[in-house]
Amino acid sequence: MRLATWNVNSIRTRVGRVTDWLARAEVDVLAMQETKCTDAQFPTLPFVELGYEVVHTGVNQWNGVAIASRVGLADVQVGFPDQPAWAKGDAEPVTEARALAATCGGVRVWSLYVPNGRTLDDPHYVYKLDWLAALRANAERWAAEEPSAPIALVGDWNVAPFDDDVWSMEFFDGATHVSEPERRAFHAFADAGFTDVVRPFTPGPGVYTYWDYTQLRFPKRQGMRIDFILGSPALAERVAHAEIVREERKGKSPSDHAPVLVELRR
């Protein structure tokens, strides 16, 4: 089974690129983030024509997560218990479209788009840390309740957990994504039993999943590693191969992220 995650940065803009890669790479399950559309706007038909079922949650032009599967799509869940809500200005807090789960081919897949955090003194940073803490608490409970369950927490984590995961620590000094509280929040998932199953196959430094569109970051190899697949013990033991598909950052109108792919033994 081939499972991938990809921050597509607007699925309506990039649906052709995404479905073309799905066909070429023979991906069985794709978790997508930052779809930037409502459920009604999601371009489902191209996926269906390739033999995929699709589930999506999105409420406006921001955020949005989806899962496409050709090996089944069951027990769909939007959001997780106690998922923090975000309040913009004086508006009422809302639970954003950032987490979606489905069971695909026996694997419990969570497509996750972790809040950005913006700056260290922004309320969005506190929201990000609270969001990660709530997800971690749930993940620990899921793993404890079903120790034999293969669970994949996949997506854009908006955290670079090690210095080698960014092209310049000096450049990111005092910024989000590399702060110690964010890194502790990410590493807490390892304490809950979840492993980064891609890194052993793609060791750094200089191995990234995201390159900003500005300043020629991609050709200069100035990126960040912020997209991950974290697996429960039952999933981690099945990983036979993993890769970051850097080639998909090239070409016409790419996402600023590359897909991350794992191959699981049956």
Residue numbering of the annotated binding site for Mg(2+) = 7, 34, 156, 158, 256-257
For residue 224, list its beta bridge partners: 166, 210
At residue 92, the 3 state secondary structure works out as coil
Q: Is 113 annotated in the active site?
A: yes
Annotated binding site: 7, 34, 156, 158, 256-257
The catalytic position among 28, 125, 156, 165 is 156
Catalytic residue list contains 125: no
Contact 136/193 with Cβ under 8 angstroms? no
Q: Give residue 56's identity as a one-letter amino acid code.
A: H
* Active-site residue identified among 127, 196, 227, 257: 257
Write down the catalytic residue from 52, 113, 127, 208.
113
Q: CA 164 from chain center: how many Å?
A: 19
Spell out the long-range contacts of 38-45 with Cβ–Cβ below 8 A and sequence spacing 24 or more. Answer: 41/12, 42/11, 42/66, 43/11, 43/12, 43/15
Helix 123-145 and helix 180-191, axial crossing angle in degrees, nearest 10: 10
CB 192 within 8 A of CB 161: no
Catalytic residues: 113, 156, 257
